[in-house]
Amino acid sequence: MFIIVLLLFLGVLFGANAYIFVRLMQALPTLPMVAKVLVGVCMGVATCSLFLSMALRGSTMPAALSRGLFQVGSVWLVFLLYMVIALFVVDVASCLRLTVPHGFWVALLLCSVVLISGHYRYKHPEVNVVPIIFDKAYDSAKPLTIVAVSDVHLGEGTGSEDLARYVDLINAQSPDVIVIAGDLIDNSVHPLYRDRMADELARLHAPHGIYMVPGNHEYISGIDAAARFIEGTPITLLRDSMVTLPCGIQLIGRDDKSNPHRSSLRTLLAQTDTEHPVMVLDHQPYGVAEADALGVDLLFCGHTHRGQVWPLTWVTDRIFEQSHGYRCWSHAHVYVSQGLSLWGPPFRIGSDSELVVFKIN
């Protein structure tokens, strides 16, 4: 099955490149043969760059080359998607005798506008403040601020400069507690050590603690290597374990679904005091209805990115019980974050980068 899916994906990639190449040659009929060959080679290299970067993750290749391969390849994938859509619209209009002058260049302009807008949305995360009122006893002498993030994906795409901006944004909310719902690390811990990202994470400040659960990308990068890196930061990694915050709220951190032997939510909840609020961190938002039925008071997840770029937003909205945002179920307050950063292509089209601030009153 995997081989079939892979072959289909590669076929779509080849077809998209061929379609754009043919339309470009039609727009530049006098281009010399040498230039045509060079354009074709460049398109092929761009297509392969992301896969090459992932295959060589953790290697000792120069930082500029590693980062360049990842960024060129990820940008090219989204460019292919939107350029094909734009050219298809232009070609359909031509079939309907609605001729678009300079169609290729019009399509390129439309694609560029969409990508620039999407990059801006990625670089400017929203701060979403969510007031929460529990109906269970806890120390509520003063409001509690929990800053919740997910899917930072530190690595070749999200580098140390991006991390510095995120740390400043998080600290600006004056958090009492910081929670991270997985995928702090992208594909390898190597760029995090190389670029000294632990130094930036050390600037995070929350008097009641900083807690994190693994995501599927901690497993992709190697869960043991990820855990060792996190040990060198102020972050406490929770894997099927619980801590009680000074205010009395109980925080359960689930291991990621990538671990087939992780504890069930029912087993973890058996360790809690049902008279006090329970907050659960779980990277992937599966079993939301079950968490609600079991009496979880606040559930925070990530993983979906809400598809990150349209039309994948439609897919995630149909796959998950709750693909993004806040919803109060019959009992549980549930928030599924679209992610503070993202994986791969640096664009948010139909989705938003976000930081969530829970105000527990």
**For the chain, domain boundaries:** 2-115, 124-360
Q: Is the pLDDT reported for residue 59 higher than 70?
A: no
Q: Is the pLDDT reported for residue 259 higher than 90?
A: yes
Q: Is the pLDDT reported for residue 58 higher than 70?
A: no
Query: HEC profile for the chain?
Result: CHHHHHHHHHHHHHHHHHHHHHHHHHHCCCCCHHHHHHHHHHHHHHHHHHHHHHHCCCCCCCHHHHHHHHHHHHHHHHHHHHHHHHHHHHHHHHHCCCCCCCHHHHHHHHHHHHHHHHHHHHHCCEEEEEEECCCCCCCCCCCEEEEEECCCCECCCECHHHHHHHHHHHHCCCCCEEEECCCCECCCCHHHHHCCHHHHHCCCCCCCCEEECCCHHHHHCCHHHHHHHHHCCCCEECCCEEEECCCCCEEEECCCCCCCCCCCHHHHHCCCCCCCCEEEECCCCCCHHHHHHCCCCEEEECCCHHHCECCHHHHHHHHCCCCCEEEECCCCEEEECCCCCCCCCCCCECCCCEEEEEEEC
pLDDT confidence tier of residue 140, bands split at 50, 70 and 90: low
- Token look-up 């909205």 returns 317
User: Is beta strand 241-244 parallel, antiparallel or unpaired with respect to 250-253?
Assistant: antiparallel
For 24-49, how does the pLDDT look when each residue is reduced to its tens digit (9 = 90+)? 998 888 889 999 899 999 988 888 88
pLDDT confidence tier of residue 155, bands split at 50, 70 and 90: very high
pLDDT confidence tier of residue 142, bands split at 50, 70 and 90: confident
Q: Which of 7-21, 180-194, 278-292 has the lowest mean pLDDT?
A: 7-21
Q: Is the pLDDT reported for residue 186 higher than 80?
A: yes
pLDDT confidence tier of residue 307, bands split at 50, 70 and 90: very high
**Going by CATH, does the domain composed of 124-360 fall within 3.20.20.150?**
no
Give the tokens for residue 162: 């991006």
Percent pLDDT > 90 in the chain is: 70
Tell me what the mean pLDDT of segment 264-278 comes to. 93
Task: Report which listed range, 58-62, 67-71, 157-161, 180-184, is most confident.
Answer: 180-184
- Amino acid of residue 59: S
Tell me what the mean pLDDT of segment 55-64 comes to. 72
Tell me what the mean pLDDT of segment 249-267 comes to. 95
Q: CA-to-CA distance for 78 and 43, rounded, in angstroms?
A: 13
For 198-245, how does the pLDDT look when each residue is reduced to its tens digit (9 = 90+)? 999 999 999 999 999 999 999 999 999 999 999 999 999 999 999 999
Note the pLDDT of residue 239.
97
Percent pLDDT > 70 in the chain is: 98
pLDDT confidence tier of residue 183, bands split at 50, 70 and 90: very high
| Short-list 294, 341, 302, CA closest to 322 | 302
What rounded mean pLDDT belongs to the chain? 91
